[in-house]
Amino acid sequence: MTIDEFKTKNNIQFENRALVEQAFIHRSFINENPRTGLRHNERLEFLGDAVLELVVTEYLYKTYPDHNEGDLTAYRSALVNASTLGEVADELSFNDMMKLSKGEAKDVSRARSSILADAYEAFVGALYLDQGYDKVKEFISKTVLTKTDDIIKKGLYKDAKSFVQEKSQELLSITPAYKVLSEEGPDHDKLFTVGIYFADELIAEGRGKSKQEGETLAARAALVKRGWVSE
């Protein structure tokens, strides 16, 4: 997909074309193609992360005036985690826009989770720089904040690790255990695959940018697999 096709599909306009292109450039592509003169998206990701958190926090604060700080924090965490953002980015066809190394390009599962989530944040940063706060707020509202009702209704904001432990102890008299199954990537960009076990049985896996995130995603997957929460 070209930049123009992407802009048309998502009804987005940009003044600075190079800025939106940079949002889709992963570090691995630059490492493999050092003479392109291009820059990866990590600085934009840093900015976009802060902008995204502000927009989501403002929305939750105004929309749920009777909910306490703990609930609002849990809602926000569920909205901006790698799983949600990766899903949103995939819906927006970010996967077709990414510039990755040959190795990363082959790893579809990774491109659809951690890398796509980072690219969404980078895109938010680019849109903020190019169009300002109101436009980026509109974009986040259409793409991420529409997930809020579903997340609250299905209980997806609940701490997955605590919830799966509660259910497994109540129903199975088992305390779940977690094990790192693999680590990939350089130190600055590691991806951890973590398994959750009931006794010796591997129930589900989660992949995240930290062991904690991997455990959380594994716990969420186990809850869905066991039918203790809906997808």
User: Active-site positions?
Assistant: 49, 121
Give the strand pairing for 191-198 and 201-208: antiparallel
Cβ atoms < 10 Å from Cβ of 217: 24
Sign for the pseudo-dihedral over CA of 116, 117, 120, 125: negative
**Following CA atoms 124, 68, 156, 143 in sequence, which dihedral angle do they give, to the nearest 10 degrees?**
-20
Cβ-count burial of 68 within 10 angstroms (0-12 exposed, 13-18 middle, 19+ buried)?
Answer: exposed
